Structure 1
């Protein structure tokens, strides 16, 4: 006898969605969360994340994005929560530059709906952005803002309403595969499950086999917020999400969902942190100075001093692609982590894949790029 068909370890961005999806497939699902769902120290923190259908990167993500978009709507309908605010999104960069060319190349590969905005069109439609000569944009009409705390708590509540059991404030000490299943220990107690999903983000490495710990690294991500001089100009109706690259400067951000504060954060500034429980939450003077300087250059309508800052742990892989699949062939432990700072937009889609595969309901093709086994050492011939 086991204590359930499936346990999900970590109920953050992906784990909460995997639990919700699994609860639709089985009445024998259990979730473990070290603190509480959407707690302030996880990678869920920071209120919002960008959702977008076009961006530079692997076009193989596009079908997952399409499915994720539909599943966000299903979660809203099931829970009555407003989670995804569609306000459009801008990718801003130099005409014929590396960034814009990469975005356009991805749209050509996927066929994603988009609109190219010339310098003049961008300046007229979105005057909040101070442009450099040659700046243009690609507009994504399906982009928007995801409310992270609301999304995670809604998914967990939906799972519980479907019959899932959730152990809050229960950090897992170990996961051990046996002939009878997978033994999960926490706080001196043990449970046995047929299968387990590890979705613990920056805390996942302690459960991983050696080849995956060698291929991953926990990093500290920073977030920053500013007050708009005129909040009405930065609401979702007037100010789309944005990602902007100019020379060595890069920043992304979201509109003022509270009608006051605008998220505007330096991109690509994650730095290694050996202990996810001890991530420095305060930003350094250099981090704040670079952020304020970039905001002053890009968005002069924001008052140039941070009104809120924070930092969170996130698990990165060597190639920047997620880990989705069993630890090894025949393993009962399934990995759903390593999203490298870009997983939330796809959280519902990845959660669905993880739940179906871990419960052996369905396998998915065309996602070899996320399988953990890509990091296995090549066998000598």
Structure 2
């Protein structure tokens, strides 16, 4: 045996799983095809949104609560400022498809929130140009996660705890044996008691066929703008936001670099054949829709894209991640398929994956993310 646990892919979730595993075992190894937080991974793009308010499955809420605590622990352990706590806004048509179900989930979870009318938004956050029937829900615990810092900090913390790291080591195959899991890269092989597969868009080729059929690699793009008055878009004045108003939708973050505001069309992930060959440039249609939306939503931004990029992620057919062993007897554990929405809960997911993969304990109430839900008899 080369160790108790290998983590394949040290990006959004893998870096956190490695950090958590290094707290539980002194025999942990991480494998990364390039380098942690490399420019083509789903980690790219400077920031991701952290928010406690969302619409959908209430079962995510305990993971969010735990993730919030663990982000603070990672900051304390590494001395890095990872989560910019600036609050968050969910904006949309009062009786539309976004705000009512968001409030229903929020009230079910008991999450702290404040409803803001269009008039109150104009007073507190005049950067947003709301439509007459728009309202907002304020999340006091929202913020912007610094992705590069988060991943590199988690990997460094794991190394400080004794974890071994192999960079520039893409994994070609994994195979279960009676004793463990054999992984190969080029002409090298290693054998571990257990393996976590957390390589995002690159995970699909390491999966069984029934999961390949239930997943799809998609291209997610981001865009940034310059403010007419940068002081109005600092984290102190401009919370993260998600807005779905009629036919337009956008999400974004304040100018954490002091210069550019992230404002990106929401829900525009499109299928792409390979994670290695995602087109980085925006299409003319993507540029046009983005600029039109910014022109309406944010009069205080120059409606010209000053920076854009695109990254791969693995999406499941039901939009929920794959967290768990392939089956009750398997030594292969999946932590992937986060469908463009996993970073805010990466620390919580990482703790679940590390704990379960090392057989320390099993978390209850997670049937909705277990890989076996896609297996037919």
TM-score scaled by structure 2? 0.99
| Residue aligning to 1:222 | 221
For residue 230 of structure 1, report the CA deviation from its aligned partner. 0.4
Q: Distance in 1 between matches of 2:275 and 2:137?
A: 36
Q: Distance in 2 between matches of 1:349 and 1:343?
A: 10
For residue 343 of structure 1, report the CA deviation from its aligned partner. 0.1
Please state whether the residue corresponding to 1:98 is helix, strand or coil.
coil
Q: Distance in 2 between matches of 1:160 and 1:175?
A: 24
Runs of 4+ in 1 over 4 A off after TM superposition: none
Q: Distance in 1 between matches of 2:27 and 2:141?
A: 36
| Residue aligning to 1:375 | 374
| Residue aligning to 1:135 | 134
Q: Distance in 2 between matches of 1:66 and 1:81?
A: 20
Unaligned runs of 5+ in 2: none
Q: Distance in 2 between matches of 1:136 and 1:249?
A: 15
The alignment status of 1:39 with 2:38, answered yes or no, reads yes
- Contact 2:322 2:369 survives alignment (8 Å): yes
Unaligned runs of 5+ in 1: none
Q: Deviations over 1:340-366 (max 9, x none)?
A: 000000000000000000000010001
Please state whether the residue corresponding to 2:223 is helix, strand or coil.
strand
| Residue aligning to 1:357 | 356
For residue 259 of structure 1, report the CA deviation from its aligned partner. 1.2
The alignment status of 1:287 with 2:286, answered yes or no, reads yes
| Residue aligning to 1:91 | 90
| Residue aligning to 1:21 | 20
Please state whether the residue corresponding to 1:13 is helix, strand or coil.
coil
| Residue aligning to 1:211 | 210
- Contact 1:10 1:31 survives alignment (8 Å): yes
For residue 98 of structure 1, report the CA deviation from its aligned partner. 1.9
Q: Distance in 2 between matches of 1:73 and 1:169?
A: 30
Q: Distance in 2 between matches of 1:134 and 1:270?
A: 28
| Residue aligning to 2:197 | 198
Question: Any residues of structure 2 matched to 1:56-95 within 5 Å, and which?
Answer: 56-95=55-94
Please state whether the residue corresponding to 2:98 is helix, strand or coil.
helix
| Residue aligning to 2:317 | 318
- Contact 1:264 1:295 survives alignment (8 Å): yes
- Contact 2:225 2:262 survives alignment (8 Å): yes
| Residue aligning to 2:255 | 256
| Residue aligning to 1:333 | 332
Q: Distance in 1 between matches of 2:255 and 2:325?
A: 40
- Contact 2:174 2:183 survives alignment (8 Å): yes
For residue 329 of structure 1, report the CA deviation from its aligned partner. 2.3
Q: Distance in 1 between matches of 2:168 and 2:302?
A: 39
Q: Distance in 1 between matches of 2:277 and 2:98?
A: 34
Please state whether the residue corresponding to 1:34 is helix, strand or coil.
coil
- Contact 1:208 1:327 survives alignment (8 Å): no
Q: Distance in 1 between matches of 2:283 and 2:326?
A: 37
The alignment status of 1:11 with 2:23, answered yes or no, reads no
For residue 178 of structure 1, report the CA deviation from its aligned partner. 0.8
- Contact 2:96 2:246 survives alignment (8 Å): no
Q: Distance in 2 between matches of 1:150 and 1:82?
A: 8
Q: Distance in 1 between matches of 2:70 and 2:262?
A: 25
Q: 4-13 or 89-98, which moves further after superposition? A: 89-98
Q: Distance in 2 between matches of 1:56 and 1:266?
A: 18
Q: Distance in 2 between matches of 1:48 and 1:116?
A: 25
- Contact 2:325 2:333 survives alignment (8 Å): yes
TM-score scaled by structure 1? 0.98
Number of residue pairs matched by the alignment:
377
For residue 135 of structure 1, report the CA deviation from its aligned partner. 1.0
The alignment status of 1:51 with 2:39, answered yes or no, reads no
Q: CA RMSD in A?
A: 0.6
Please state whether the residue corresponding to 1:259 is helix, strand or coil.
coil
